[in-house]
A and B are shown apart, each in its own frame.
Chain A
Amino acid sequence: MKRTLKALVVACGAVVSALGVGAGTTPAQAQGKTITLCWAAWDPANALVELSKDFTAKSGIGMKFEFVPWTNYADRFLNELNSHGQLCDLIIGDSQWIGGAAENGQYVKLNDFFKKEGISMDDYMPATVVGYSEWPKNTPNYWALPAMGDAVGWTYRKDWFARPDVQKDFKAKYGRDIGVPKTLDELKDIAQFFQGREIDGKKVYGASIYTERGSEGITMGVSSYLYDYGFKYDDPKKPYAMDGFVNSASAVKGLEAYKDLYKCCTPPGASNSYMSEGLDAFKSGQVALQMNFFAFLPGLYKDPNVGGDKIGFFVNPAGPAAQATQLGGQGISVVSYSKNQAEALQYIKWFAGGDVQKKWWALGGYSCAKSVLNDPSFPNSAPFAKEFLQSMGMVVDFWAEPSYAQLLQAEQKRVHDYVVADKGTAQEALDGLVKDWKAVFKEEGKKF
């Protein structure tokens, strides 16, 4: 009797533990492997969490996520990489990190892996391959798979543009119909028109643009203007020769134009605005125009107050010399200090799949795969898809050198000093920038 009771207890215990395990675990836990993916905390990251559930279901590898707000994103993860930390197995690192991460051995080089798995960079938009994967630039050395395409774009209040009183007043003032601006001058006219205007009894303002000082904000905004005015980082024939390219007369005009827009047409207190401040200004109905990355547009389109029919999208308008915009976005890399490199590579292989890329776009991520972007149905797949596609064809990126942070800091300081703090002239700001950048490259041992 005693033995029977004992057997019964053991059997019950086994059943209970089997049920418990079955109910609480995923195949990943069953396999016992979990990898951590590090990225910024923003809307597309939520889409990636959703998407990655398919990976776990398919591979049995669990996914953990480490998302850090943009303001701390670079500090946090560059610290992690520089200290050879093992927190991240996979990292979606900013495009400018690629040079440093490649040269300092922080990312795993993916050429052999791509070859073995049949992943071709020809299947991705060329700008994203150069921007997110290659180091040195324009050489077939790949350190990341293009993961999240992004660029600076614009949103506008379609409902305000459609108001008869606005249309009438605008035509009377500028002699043309109000509409999506084709040039930066037109954009300024629209911003100026709305600045201080009353809409439904509320005072509104022209535009929210990037002016943030601490990280990279104002550089991202100013660059979208400078490129249109003919700014170039260096002589295309002589790398690192910056005189006459960074501080050319046309680039100076571009910087002046950005300052004009800041002074005439932004809301009070917008001296330190970046992505989230722009979103706040637009969502709260303060501004008619907003400069922001495409990554935020799905969320804005869904916004109950300013989304849907009330919002419109357009690409960075043309300037006197060109039509270009600042590249955003990131590639996904395997961290060389990771102990789970095989599983991380498995994730990249899965992520590169055509169906996964389609689902990625559908969930709110921005695929860089040609199979998605060149699909005839793509331009109509979202209200901002056409503009995204157009933008990705005209993107320019900041330096991606190992010393990019120093180069970025110098531009942040010079440009903020001129645009926001009224210090010196545009010519002095860009001359100073050339001086700073030369000093950085000299320290790096570059010859120019």
Chain B
Amino acid sequence: MIPVPGSVHAMNELSASSRITYRAVRVRPGVARRIRGLSDKTLAWLFITPTIVLLLAINIFPLLWTIYLSFTNYRANRANVPTIWLGADWYQSILTDPDIWAAMQVTAHFVIWTVVIETVLGFGLAYLIDKKFRGHGLWTTIILLPMMLSPAVVGNFWTFLYQPQIGLFNYVVAFFSGRDASSFQMLGDVTLSPWAIVIVDAWMWTPYVMLICLAGLRSIPDYIFEAAEVDRASKWRQFWSITLPMALPFIMLAVLFRGIENFKMFDMVNLLTGGGPGSTTEVASITLKRAAFESWRTGYSSAFAIILFVTVFGLANIYVKALNKVKSR
């Protein structure tokens, strides 16, 4: 019996595939022909238009608007004040401001040391985990835990860990060094505070680098090592001639990701030190935030944001070219 379309009995008896066929048949022939009539190009445009519109609205337009604002005296808290075109005044004043250069130096110290430490430790951990010892899965999970936490949480609880009187960090250092635990303060000392933020970032993000390096190590085919074994290459030689070169693109990718992320680091440092003591840990993002949302110097902060953007973009481009060279080797 052929089910009569529209009847309850008929619908219940329809199988999934016959229901699809049924719906297809129900599409009016005119419409179907019209859709079928669209060219591939038109269809492609139809699919990507929403994405492009969204991209223009939330990325390109704000970027262009920021560029425009960076040449004006605009302040977001004084919308009633007439906007005056200042040309490149803000750029000149930022690039000649010693405080800005101090913030850039703090940022560079933070970026360089975190990236170096995270890369060395991350690769080391990945190398160990790749050996697939007993319980390596459990250890991998434990190592990955810090990067799953929110930077706000990490910032807050490291503030307690660094507390000179009750902090675990000070007690551990005191235990090994024999110093009094409250005789030094990681966050309040000019010499130690830049390292305090480096330690926290390394603790949190080394697992991320490890994960990328591990993917690199696991992508090296076993037969290459087997061939090396046959050729009686030592483990050291295998590491330098096979493991490291083949994992290098992954390591470089991790360096790129961490470099960009830490260049714009804000939340964790803000929670740990607020840029202090004094301006010792005031990374560029904190300076930018203060100018934009505390002083409300919108034009000035737009110019600073553009300078930071160009810096990151330029450095990242140079780096990507180097990465591509390594990959094509």
Interface residues of chain A, those whose CB is within 8 Å of chain B, are 74-75, 78-79, 81-82, 100, 103-105, 212-214, 267-272, 286, 402-403, 405-406, 409, 413, 416-418, 420-423
Q: Once bound together, how far apart are the Cα atoms of A105 and B99, in whole Å?
A: 33
A104-B77 in contact (CB<8A): yes
A421-B276 in contact (CB<8A): yes
A271-B295 in contact (CB<8A): no
Mark out the residues of chain B between 146 and 181 whose CB falls within 8 Å of any chain A CB in the assembled complex.
Answer: 162-165, 167
Q: Give chain A residues whose Cβ lies under 8 Å from the Cβ of B79.
A: 104
Instruction: Given A75-B294, A405-B295, check contact A213 B276 (CB 8 Å).
Output: yes
Q: Give chain A residues whose Cβ lies under 8 Å from the Cβ of B273.
A: 213, 272
B187-A421 in contact (CB<8A): no
Which residue on chain A has the smallest CB distance to residue B185? A269
Q: Give chain B residues whose Cβ lies under 8 Å from the Cβ of A81.
A: 77
Q: Which stretch (B134-142, B260-268, B277-285) binds chain A?
A: B277-285
A421-B278 in contact (CB<8A): yes
Which residue on chain B has the smallest CB distance to residue A84? B79
Instruction: Given A269-B185, A272-B188, check contact A82 B76 (CB 8 Å).
Output: yes
Is chain A's binding surface mostly helix, strand, loop or mixed? loop
A420-B188 in contact (CB<8A): yes
Instruction: Given A269-B165, A405-B295, A421-B190, check contact A213 B77 (CB 8 Å).
Output: no
Q: Once bound together, how far apart are the Cα atoms of A267 and B185, in whole Å?
A: 11
Contact with A along B23-39 (1 / 0, CB 8 A): 00000000000000000
Q: Give chain B residues whose Cβ lies under 8 Å from the Cβ of A405.
A: 294-296
Q: Once bound together, how far apart are the Cα atoms of A100 and B78, in whole Å?
A: 9
Q: Once bound together, how far apart are the Cα atoms of A269 and B295, in whole Å?
A: 28
Contact of A104 among B78, B165, B187 (CB under 8 A): B78
Contact of B290 among A79, A103, A409, A422 (CB under 8 A): A409
A413-B78 in contact (CB<8A): no
CB of B191 to closest CB in A, whole Å: 10
Instruction: Given A213-B275, A413-B279, A420-B276, check contact A271 B188 (CB 8 Å).
Output: yes
Q: Give chain A residues whose Cβ lies under 8 Å from the Cβ of B85.
A: none
B7 CB–A CB distance under 8 Å: no
Q: Once bound together, how far apart are the Cα atoms of A336 and B279, in whole Å?
A: 37
CB of A77 to closest CB in B, whole Å: 12
Q: Once bound together, how far apart are the Cα atoms of A407 and B185, in whole Å?
A: 29
Which residue on chain B has the smallest CB distance to residue A413? B279
CB of A295 to closest CB in B, whole Å: 22
Instruction: Given A214-B270, A268-B164, A409-B295, check contact A420 B185 (CB 8 Å).
Output: no
6 other contacts beyond A213-B274, A416-B278, with CB at 8 A cut-off?
A213-B277, A269-B165, A269-B167, A409-B295, A416-B279, A421-B280
Q: Give chain A residues whose Cβ lies under 8 Å from the Cβ of B278.
A: 213, 413, 416-418, 420-421, 423
B280-A271 in contact (CB<8A): no
A-B contact pairs, 8 of them (CB 8 A): A100-B77, A104-B77, A268-B164, A269-B164, A272-B274, A405-B294, A416-B277, A420-B188
CB of A29 to closest CB in B, whole Å: 35
Which residue on chain B has the smallest CB distance to residue A286? B165
Interface residues on B, range: 20 to 34
Interface residues of chain B, those whose CB is within 8 Å of chain A, are 76-80, 99, 162-165, 167, 182-183, 185, 187-190, 270, 273-280, 290, 293-297
A268-B274 in contact (CB<8A): no
CB of A216 to closest CB in B, whole Å: 10
Q: Once bound together, how far apart are the Cα atoms of A405 and B167, in whole Å?
A: 34
B296-A421 in contact (CB<8A): no
Q: Give chain A residues whose Cβ lies under 8 Å from the Cβ of B294.
A: 74-75, 405, 409
Which residue on chain A has the smallest CB distance to residue B184? A268
A267-B165 in contact (CB<8A): yes
A417-B279 in contact (CB<8A): yes
B293-A75 in contact (CB<8A): yes
Residue among A105, A269, A405, A422 facing the most chain B CB atoms (10 A cut-off) = A269
Is chain B's binding surface mostly helix, strand, loop or mixed? loop
Q: Once bound together, how far apart are the Cα atoms of A102 and B164, in whole Å?
A: 44
Which residue on chain A has the smallest CB distance to residue B180? A268
The 10 A-B residue pairs with the shortest CB-CB distance, nearest first, are A271-B188, A421-B278, A214-B274, A213-B276, A417-B278, A268-B164, A269-B164, A82-B77, A268-B182, A420-B277
Q: Once bound together, how far apart are the Cα atoms of A78 and B293, in whole Å?
A: 9
Instruction: Given A79-B293, A270-B188, A271-B188, check contact A105 B80 (CB 8 Å).
Output: yes
Instruction: Given A104-B78, A421-B278, check contact A406 B293 (CB 8 Å).
Output: no
Q: Give chain A residues whose Cβ lies under 8 Å from the Cβ of B164.
A: 268-269
Q: Give chain A residues whose Cβ lies under 8 Å from the Cβ of B77.
A: 78, 81-82, 100, 104
Q: Once bound together, how far apart are the Cα atoms of A356 and B276, in whole Å?
A: 43
B275-A214 in contact (CB<8A): yes
Q: Give chain B residues whose Cβ lies under 8 Å from the Cβ of A74.
A: 294
Instruction: Given A75-B293, A406-B295, A409-B295, check contact A268 B190 (CB 8 Å).
Output: no
Q: Give chain A residues whose Cβ lies under 8 Å from the Cβ of B167.
A: 269
Q: Once bound together, how far apart are the Cα atoms of A26 and B224, in whole Å?
A: 79
Q: Give chain B residues whose Cβ lies under 8 Å from the Cβ of A272.
A: 187-188, 273-274, 276-277
Q: Give chain B residues whose Cβ lies under 8 Å from the Cβ of A78.
A: 77, 296
CB of A53 to closest CB in B, whole Å: 35
Residue among B76, B188, B280 facing the most chain A CB atoms (10 A cut-off) = B188
Q: Give chain A residues whose Cβ lies under 8 Å from the Cβ of B99.
A: 413
Which residue on chain A has the smallest CB distance to residue B189? A271
Q: Give chain A residues whose Cβ lies under 8 Å from the Cβ of B182.
A: 268-269
Q: Give chain B residues whose Cβ lies under 8 Å from the Cβ of A417.
A: 278-279
Which residue on chain B has the smallest CB distance to residue A271? B188
A402-B295 in contact (CB<8A): no
CB of B71 to closest CB in A, whole Å: 16
CB of B230 to closest CB in A, whole Å: 60
Q: Give chain B residues whose Cβ lies under 8 Å from the Cβ of A421.
A: 190, 276-280
Q: Once bound together, how far apart are the Cα atoms of A402 and B164, in whole Å?
A: 39
Q: Give chain B residues whose Cβ lies under 8 Å from the Cβ of A269.
A: 162-165, 167, 182, 185, 187-188
Q: Give chain A residues whose Cβ lies under 8 Å from the Cβ of B274.
A: 212-214, 272
Q: Give chain B residues whose Cβ lies under 8 Å from the Cβ of A268.
A: 164-165, 182-183, 185
Q: Give chain A residues whose Cβ lies under 8 Å from the Cβ of B78.
A: 103-104, 402
Q: Give chain B residues whose Cβ lies under 8 Å from the Cβ of A409.
A: 290, 294-295
Q: Once bound together, how far apart are the Cα atoms of A416 and B277, in whole Å?
A: 7
A416-B276 in contact (CB<8A): yes
Q: Once bound together, how far apart are the Cα atoms of A213 and B276, in whole Å?
A: 6
